[in-house]
Amino acid sequence: MDFQSVILTLQNYWSDRGCLIAQPYDMEKGAGTMNPHTFLRAIGPAPWCVAYVEPCRRPTDGRYGENPNRLQHYYQFQVLLKPSPDDVLEQYLQSLKVLGIDPADHDIRFVEDDWESPTLGAWGVGWEVWLDGMEVTQFTYFQQAGGIDCRPVSVEITYGLERLAMYLQGVNSIFDIVWRGDVTYGQVHHRNEVEQSYYNFGNKGQNNQRLFQLFQEYEAEAQEQIKAELPLPAFDYVLKCSHTFNLLDARGVISVTERTRYIARIRNLARQVAKLYLESSSTG
């Protein structure tokens, strides 16, 4: 099954189960959880079922395209079901079956892995799903987001698309995944991995000071939009802050102590956005 068929299959599967098929959010982010479709919709009482592909950036994972198993830019397939259905594990196992992985033929394990995002003030309880020892999915029941208790509780299913595709295609390098026909994942993304790795690690004399300034500007922008009671625009700049922080972190220019403070600054914004979003949705 080629890469895009994996995506199409999952979209169809979850669409058939009542999910809205959404599109990626147009901002850099470290995980599909940070898409407002998940982060903000997990807050508050309204039911919500959504599935979408999300490109993710993790600057420190850059390997200049030399490591066959690691990328600084990759894709997640994200499903959010609220409230969490009682048969969610069975639904998930069925989705593997439609991908051609029959759970009866494999050793599928739900291994404890609780999730916490210090920058988003969010945590949840769940598993990483192992397919014959390979982690292919993250499963999380959200307990808090932006410091707010999630009631009802949503469940988030995050498929690692590259991992699944590698498994299905039997290839040992991400770059050998067939995207479609004779186009490989490497052809689509390898150059980006190389260039972005140089950028992420600042190997070509990149200006870290400017990144520090950008962080401050983004933070100020977020704060002003919070004051203006516009949680969605404010959230965009929280995402900007988060990504800028991740870049600075990859550059190794943030000490451990400063690191904690930066995380606290972003979390503080995320909390305010979450609170504002909840208040304005209940009154509006």
Per CB under 8 A, residues contacting another protein are: 63, 66-70, 83-86, 89, 93, 103-112, 114, 124-125, 127, 131-134, 141, 143, 151-153, 155, 167, 172, 252, 255-257
Shortest CA distance to 58 belongs to which of 236, 204, 193?
A: 193
Q: Which is nearer to another protein, 25 or 167 (by Cβ)?
A: 167
Provide the minimum distance between the beta carbon of 236 and another protein in the complex, in angstroms, as a whole number.
Answer: 30
CB of 103 to another protein, least distance (A): 6
Least distance in angstroms from the C-beta of 225 to another protein: 31
- In whole angstroms, the minimum distance from the beta carbon of 111 to another protein comes to 7
Q: Which is nearer to another protein, 104 or 182 (CB)?
A: 104
158, HSE (Cβ side, Cα atoms, 13 Å) = 26
Q: Hey, what's the torsion of the CAs at 210, 215, 217, 221, to 10 degrees?
A: 160
Angle at 37 between CA 33 and CA 38, to 5 degrees: 35
* Cα atoms in the 13 Å half-sphere on the side-chain side of 4: 7
How many whole angstroms separate alpha carbon 52 and alpha carbon 54? 6
* Residue 189 near residue 71 (C-beta atoms within 8 A): yes
Q: How far is the CB of 153 from another protein (least distance, A)?
A: 5
Q: DSSP secondary-structure letter at 152?
A: S
DSSP string for 5-52: HHHHHHHHHHHHTT-EE----SS--SSGGGSHHHHTTTSSS--EEEEE
Between 121 and 231, whose beta carbon lies closer to another protein? 121
- We find the least distance from the C-beta atom of residue 76 to another protein, in angstroms, to be 19
Shortest gap between Cβ of 258 and another protein (angstroms)?
9
List Cα–Cα distances, 105 to 80, 101, 165, in angstroms: 27, 8, 17
- 151 versus 210: smaller Cβ distance to another protein: 151
Length of the chain measured in residues: 284
162 or 219: whose CB is closer to another protein? Answer: 162
User: Among 114, 111, 150, 149, which residue's Cα sits nearest to residue 131?
Assistant: 111
User: Cα(244)–Cα(151) distance, rounded to whole angstroms?
Assistant: 31
